[in-house]
Amino acid sequence: MGDDSSRSIVKTLKNEWSLLWDAFQGEENETTKSEDDAFKSGKLEVLSLDQIREMTKALLEDRKKLNQKMESLSKEIDLNSAKLESLRLVGGEEDDTLKRIHELHDLGQSMATALTKLDKQLREIRDQEDKIQEDLISS
C-alpha cells in the first residue's frame, strides 16, 4: 500500500509539474513575443524610457517566477533522489524514479537556458535605459 501511495504522489507531482511547465511556456510565449521582436529587430532604441522600464519590470517578474520554479524543481529532484536512495537500500524497483530524475534534470536544463536568455535581455534593456538617461542628461 505504501508503494501505491508513493506512485500516486509521484504521478500527481508529475501531472502538476506538466501543467505548471505548460503554463510557463504559454506565458513566456505570450508575454515575451513582443519583447523578443524588439530585441531581434534592434528596435530598443525607438522605445521610450517608460516603455523600457515596463519591459524591465516584466523581465524581472519573469526571472523571479523562473527562479521560483527552478527552486521547486530542485526540491522535487532532492525528494526523488532520496526516494531513489531508499529504493536502492531495500532493493526496490528504481526505474520509474530514475526516469523521473532524468526528466527533471532535462527540465532544469531548459529552465537554465531560458534564464540565461532572460538575463541577456535584461542586460540589453538596462544598457538601453542607461543610454536614454545619458542622452536626457546631456540634452
pLDDT digits (tens, 9 = 90+) for 62-107: 999 999 999 999 999 999 999 999 999 999 898 999 999 999 999 9
Domain that holds residue 113: 2-76+106-138
Residue 89 lies in a domain: no
Q: What is the largest CA-CA distance in the chain?
A: 74
Report yes or no on 29 lying in a domain: yes
Report how far residue 128's alpha carbon sits from residue 121's, in angstroms, rounded to the nearest whole number: 11
Mean pLDDT of 34-51: 65
In a domain, 93, yes or no: no
Q: Is residue 84 part of a domain?
A: no
Contact of 98 with 84, CB cutoff 8 Å: yes
Q: Is the separation of the CB atoms in 54 and 34 below 8 Å?
A: no
pLDDT > 70? residue 125? yes
pLDDT class of 139 with cuts at 50, 70, 90? confident
Exposure class string for 84-112: b at 16+ Cβ within 10 A, else e = beebeeeeeeeebbeebbeebeebbeebe
Is 55 within 8 Å of 35 (Cβ atoms)?
yes
Strand ranges in 12-108 using DSSP code E only, listed in sequence order: none
Rounded-to-integer distance, Cα 139 and Cα 49, Å: 15
Q: For the chain, what is the domain count?
A: 1
- Is residue 82 a part of any domain in this protein? no
Question: Which of these, 75, 72, 65, lies nearest to 115 by C-alpha position?
Answer: 65
- Give domain status of residue 101, yes or no: no
**How confident is the model over 15-40, as pLDDT tens digits?**
656 655 666 565 545 444 555 555 55
Looking at residue 48, its pLDDT comes to 83
Q: Tell whether 95 is covered by a domain.
A: no
The answer to whether residue 43 sits within a structural domain is: yes
Q: 51 falls in which pLDDT band (50, 70, 90)? A: confident
CA distance 95 to 92: 9
Residue 121's closest CA among 42, 25, 5? Answer: 42
pLDDT at 42: 58
Q: According to the model, what pLDDT value does residue 30 have?
A: 46
